[in-house]
Structure 1
Amino acid sequence: MKRTVDPAEVGFDPARLNRIDQRFGRYVDSGLLAGWQIVVTRRGEIAHASAYGDRDREAGLPVEPDTLWRIYSMTKPVTSVAAMALWEEGAFQLTDEVSRWIPAFADVRVYDRGSARQPFTVPASEPVRVWHLLTHTAGLTYGFMHTSVVDALYRAAGHEWGAPPGTDLAQACDQWARLPLLYEPGTRWGYSVATDVLGRLVEVVSGRRLDEFVSERILAPLGMTDTRWWVDEADADRLAALYVPDPSTGRAVRDDRAGAAARRPPALLSGGGGLISTAADYHRFTQMLLNGGEGDGARILGSRTVRLMTTNQLPGGRDLASLATGGFAETTLDGVGFGLGFGVVENPVPGRTHGSRGEFFWGGAASTAFWVDPAEELTAMLFTQLLPSGTHPVRPQLRQLVYSALID
């Protein structure tokens, strides 16, 4: 990607924007990251686009404009948009019970007490509803959390960083439904497989596979031709390798075992973390959101639907700090709410950070991130390749650097 406007014309100080490259360049020069790509836009124009380091350090392949990045949980907003496209057609209500389409979610139970070997559960007093999936308030969890008995039950069932081999999305949803919920639906917030279940709901309601529906309704209309669920041999050298921090030095060390999954068709189409994309493609997606649901002449969602999705939906209008169950999340918690598929900034002050009320965002497990700030007409994206996210403060630092460069 290339800059399309003089930064000063859209309110940026060019010298201050250059601090982004200086700061992030140090991560590569010190070996903490292998490479990265950053894009900042304002008023629909690209004010800053830069890349540094290697997509594959061992092969000596640099980050290039068309590098394919594993975006992991940045898939969640895409799946949420797919679901809301069906909602706009009247296919379901947000208050509908999920068991209407996925019968295994009828008569779910909630963990009450006991150990992973002998858990005691009680019937849920509230059914899991569609809006619970979109907001991560369904009571589901992730096995990799390691913070509760329910997490341990997920791991015992083979659901930690993925599903048991050969398990497809329908089977996984049935397995998750048989495990106890972490809390009563609609009462707390917990990062979870909820968006994967939402992806299955999209399949059942639409009568299409998730990949087919997403391609037909989002990727193709927006011209996101490089976004896919796996990478074939023809594009293999464009794929950024994955890295993890060395426990003793912190330097990025290649992890081919985690990276291998992207090289073959998945048994489970993960609406919560399965997509691979490019900066140019995800830029099209963020611009569609900034433009109220329209991108390059294609209307994906109505403007009021985007507004609904990016409004805090948590019970009582509370923030994540007061409702989160603990464990990992791709966000800070103070002053942050959650909409229908996005984290939403309610107040940047409690988090001691730059930002605007109404800004929405999310990130991915390999330290990628994006945000859309309607008040400033601004978007920013970070692509990199280090597991897990949160290893280095790249997200808050990018935020500091971008907003500090605004001078209008």
Structure 2
Amino acid sequence: MQTDLSVTTDPAEVGLDAGRLQRLDRRLARYVDEGQLPGFLVTVARHGRLVHVGRHGKRDVEAGLPVTVDTRWRIYSMTKPVTSVAAMSLYEEGAFELTDPISRWLPEFADTRVWTAGPAQKPVTVPLLEPIRVWHLLTHTSGLTYGFHHAHPVDGLYRLRGHEWGTPPGADSAEVVRQFAEMPVLFQPGTEWNYGVSTDVLGRLLEVVAGKPLDEVFAERVFGPLGMTETSFGLRPEDDVDSLAQLYGPGVTLLPAPFAQAALRKPTFLAGGAGLVSTAGDYLRFVEMLRRGGSVSDDPDAGRVLGPRTVAHMVRNHLPGGLDLETAGRPLYAETPLRGVGFGLGFSMVLDPVRYGGVSSVGTYSWGGAASTEFYVDPVEDLTVTFYTQLLPSSTLPVRNHLRPLVQQALL
């Protein structure tokens, strides 16, 4: 597995056209030159060989600092797949079953109720027909939500409790999750899909099961085996502050200080759903591990995180009735199509490229972050692509919709 971004293989050796790959950089660079994107870094690898590293623009526009291969990025929800992998490594050891009720470890969820009517200030609720289970957290079918959706009365209740783009000051993982359990879920668990704090709750469950904080769970089960030395919850004291890219909003305008400064230090709430800072080379090790079926190399004793059959199970569609996200999910705005796309244990995947509406292989799985970062793994072409910038929200530009066709067209 090649993850040193300073060394690349001739694309032709693995069936890619170097000239056509430049189309990817030119399209992304236009966003930078037009003042819509501060800067970016993109990687393309095939058969475990890195063939393209494109970068352009600034990691800090005001300071004039360029994007470099060792720039640190807030990866937001690309934290979620890390949490899912850590969870499945515990599952492989028999720590829990996917069908176990989460109230076994988080008893506050024993009395969680389901919204049926009413405003955020006075919701009408009914009891759960069945408990929230571990697999509901992994698949976002728990009924938990996000305050920033602004799509449902329960979203409003989250905001009233201080859960929108953050959590109440000083609240640790145990307290934040206790508050989630006090609020109703949107629907009976397992019946629909809704993107929300499910992975945050999963992170807390891992802390209880493992008996240690989530950052230590990650270090032991993911970062250590993969040699991911530059990924952490916020910057560490020894990290260079200038290596962290600035965070921007639409029009490449600096976001308010609380957004930008949150990643400068380890947060009180170690969220399974967001919060990691990483470099492109470090996260590429994680993505390549997925492509390889759970290991960083052919050596069975080196860096194996999961068994290949576990990874294969994670990237299958687990939505009820085999439906896609558009059919099983709530009508939320998404920067990439929900039609023809399923969801597994921590990843979305293309079920039907025609319905999806873009050039893609069946089974391509992916996830992204709020600051417009993304990765995808194409198991048919044995291909991985990662993309980094710091533009929030991710719906600002259709960058992700460009990535797949611009990479796929370079395959010979």
TM-score, with structure 1 as normaliser: 0.97
Q: 1:330 to 1:124 in 2, by over 3 A?
A: farther
Q: Does 1:243 align with 2:245?
A: no
Q: Is the 8 A contact 2:335 2:398 kept in 1?
A: no
Query: Which whole-Å CA distance do the structure 1 matches of 2:72 and 2:124 have between them?
Result: 45
Q: Could you say which residue in structure 2 is the equivalent of 1:335?
A: 340
Q: Is the 8 A contact 2:223 2:231 kept in 1?
A: yes
Q: 1:13 to 1:378 in 2, by over 3 A?
A: same
Matches within 5 A, 1:122-133: 122-133=126-137
Query: Which whole-Å CA distance do the structure 1 matches of 2:248 and 2:107 have between them?
Result: 39
195, 200, 207: which one pairs with 1:196?
200
CA drift at 1:397: 0.5
Q: Does 1:285 align with 2:290?
A: no
CA drift at 1:328: 4.3
Query: Which whole-Å CA distance do the structure 1 matches of 2:336 and 2:312 have between them?
Result: 20
Q: Could you say which residue in structure 1 is the equivalent of 2:411?
A: 406
CA RMSD of aligned residues (A): 1.1
CA drift at 1:355: 1.2
Q: Secondary structure at the match of 2:385?
A: strand
Q: Is the 8 A contact 1:330 1:363 kept in 2?
A: no
Q: Secondary structure at the match of 1:350?
A: helix
Which amino acid in structure 2 is aligned with residue 374 of structure 1?
P
Q: Is the 8 A contact 2:171 2:269 kept in 1?
A: yes
186, 193, 208: which one pairs with 2:190?
186
364, 369, 393: which one pairs with 1:364?
369
TM superposition outliers: structure 1 runs of 4+ over 6 Å: none
Q: Does 1:254 align with 2:258?
A: no
Deviation string for 1:344-367 (max 9, x for gaps)? 111111121111111110000000
Query: Which whole-Å CA distance do the structure 2 matches of 1:87 and 1:232 have between them?
Result: 30
Which amino acid in structure 2 is aligned with residue 390 of structure 1?
S
Q: Could you say which residue in structure 2 is the equivalent of 1:269?
A: 270
Q: Could you say which residue in structure 2 is the equivalent of 1:248?
A: none
Query: Which whole-Å CA distance do the structure 1 matches of 2:265 and 2:51 have between them?
Result: 36
312, 316, 335: which one pairs with 2:321?
316
Where does the alignment leave 5 or more consecutive residues of structure 2 unmatched?
none
Matches within 5 A, 1:39-78: 39-78=43-82
CA drift at 1:162: 1.0
Q: Secondary structure at the match of 1:271?
A: coil
Deviates more, 1:82-91 or 1:290-299: 290-299
Same amino acid, percent of matched pairs: 57
Matches within 5 A, 1:2-401: 2-232=6-236, 234-245=239-250, 251-255=251-255, 256-296=257-297, 297-329=302-334, 331-401=336-406
Deviation string for 1:224-246 (max 9, x for gaps)? 1000111146410000000001x
Which amino acid in structure 2 is aligned with residue 257 of structure 1?
P
Deviation string for 1:246-269 (max 9, x for gaps)? xxxxx2111133111001220100
Q: Is the 8 A contact 2:335 2:400 kept in 1?
A: no
Query: Which whole-Å CA distance do the structure 2 matches of 1:70 and 1:383 have between them?
Result: 9
Aligned residue pairs total 402
Where does the alignment leave 5 or more consecutive residues of structure 1 unmatched?
246-250
Q: Is the 8 A contact 2:336 2:401 kept in 1?
A: no
CA drift at 1:107: 2.4
CA drift at 1:3: 4.6
Query: Which whole-Å CA distance do the structure 2 matches of 1:261 and 1:332 have between them?
Result: 30
Query: Which whole-Å CA distance do the structure 2 matches of 1:96 and 1:198 have between them?
Result: 12
Query: Which whole-Å CA distance do the structure 1 matches of 2:325 and 2:128 have between them?
Result: 22
Query: Which whole-Å CA distance do the structure 1 matches of 2:240 and 2:329 have between them?
Result: 40
TM-score, with structure 2 as normaliser: 0.96
Which amino acid in structure 2 is aligned with residue 9 of structure 1?
E
Q: Secondary structure at the match of 1:166?
A: coil
Q: Secondary structure at the match of 2:23?
A: helix
